[in-house]
Amino acid sequence: MKHFTNALKKAFCLAASFCLANSAFAANLSGKSASELAKMIRVGWNLGNSLDATGQGANAETSWGNPRTTKEMFDKVKEAGFNAVRIPVSWSTHVSNNGQYQFAIDGQWMARVKEVVNYAYDNGMFVIINIHHDNDQWHMFPSNQYLNQSKKYVTDIWTQVAKEFADYDQHLIFETINEPRVVGDANEWWFVPDSPTPSVAEAIQCINQINQAAVDAIRNVGGNNMDRLVGCPGYVGSIDGVTTSNFKAPDDKAQNRLWISVHAYTPYDFCMNPDKQSHAWNQQFYYDIQWLYNSIRDKVMSKGYPVYIGETSSSNYFNTEDRKQWEKCFFGFSKDYGVPCFLWDNNTVDNKDGAERHGYLNRRTLQWFEPSLITTIMETLGWNPTSVNDEIANEWSVYADGNSIRINSTAEIKNVDVVSINGTKVAGLASCGNECSINVNHNGVYIVVINTESGTSVKKTIVK
């Protein structure tokens, strides 16, 4: 999404009531491969511990202590430089057997998920939704004993979700399951990739089939779901889970629309281990992160699958300067290797469990707990919120010619909207090649919103 100068922000805010409510404001993105879409995602943010909270009823998203999600939260995230969000969703406490589906999703919960998705989607952001905390023996559990039920569960959930979102473009991404594992097993969280225990080896084979069932369900719905990017994890969502020889990516009816999901709180001793005596940054941690990204490149991306790190963060051990060093290293590799990362944020900074202090945005005040941590990520990725000379701005120009507005673009123009300074749409065109002219009839200041394959950009022009 185009980033504005302060003066242009003020002008554009007057038009925002139209633009942000209009789904056309986001580029109508289609036909992109998984690799092409991965390149368009700069960095993502997780709405953790909200829609994935496992309470029941309409207020489930607040059952773990977070406030009700608002559009303003996503506005703040986008303003900071994130162009993607991951919205984890737990469905298992909102399903029942209605005769058509064994696991029918409650309509009120589906509507709420859609409302939250739209906060980001209508803001021109990429959005990932998934099946999150449903890894149990009553819903999805990767073992032979529960395999048929697990495949039924993901098929029912994804069929309903894919139908609900069938007309959403490639800005919306599905992720089949989250951190699938044998809950309660001695190797629930860790295993040796070259020699997994029998229970883990069985789970890996089941995860392959569960991923396949989810992808098939999504594609079978049709619509834009045949064009949709779908993320798939391995055992426990780890790098080991997708590099072990037993892991197999699903066969897909769509071409080049799969990417592989990895979670990486790497290195664990720095990012999450509460038993570590010191959480000071040291050079060994650099090599741990380098190993992670080399493994992603050499063992997954080399097979033709792009990879995203759906969760990463360093827990708050009151070591801000050390965390900045971690961010420079981790997100530096993200940029260099072309692996987009999604920052895990659970809105917690001071709980007793040091491993889970992953709060970045205070969702009540809409202020960043430690703004310098966000600034460091964006600077590492090369994003400058005060600059208008980014790649999208350089693609096109706009100028007044009498009562007409002329637009020239190096990229093909998908659509153009012209909005008055008071927020009223006055004109628009679709699919006009590399240049177009729009008559606005009256003198004044107008906001021009252009969509190309690179995204959405905004400029102001004056018609005299």
The catalytic residues are 179, 311
Q: d(Cα 331, Cα 208) in Å, to the nearest integer? A: 29
Radius of gyration of the chain (CA): 23
Is residue 87 within 8 Å of residue 47, measured between CB atoms?
Answer: yes
Residues 6+ apart with CB under 8 A from 431: 413, 414, 415
Torsion of CA 359, 364, 370, 375, to 10 degrees: 100
Q: Return the SS3 of 285.
A: helix
Q: d(Cα 361, Cα 346) in Å, to the nearest integer? A: 9
Residue-wise burial string across 232-263, b where 16 or more C-beta atoms lie within 10 A, e elsewhere:
bbbbbbbbbbbbbebbbbbebebebbbbbbbb
Is residue 376 within 8 Å of residue 314, measured between CB atoms?
Answer: no
Which pair of structure tokens corresponds to residue 357?
A: 């202090």
Where are any strands of DSSP class E within 83-206?
84-87, 95-96, 104-105, 126-130, 172-175
Q: d(Cα 285, Cα 272) in Å, to the nearest integer? A: 13
Ramachandran category for residue 87: left, alpha or beta (phi over 0 → left; psi -120 to 50 → alpha): beta
Three-class SS string for 362-403? Answer: ECCCCEECCHHHHHHHHHHHCCCCCCCCCCCHHHEEEEEECC
Span between the terminal Cα atoms of the chain, in Å:
28
Q: d(Cα 49, Cα 64) in Å, to the nearest integer? A: 7
What CA–CA distances, in Å, run from 40 to 66, 258, 313, 414?
30, 15, 21, 17
Instruction: Give the angle 355-298-39 at the CA atoms, nearest 5°.
Output: 75
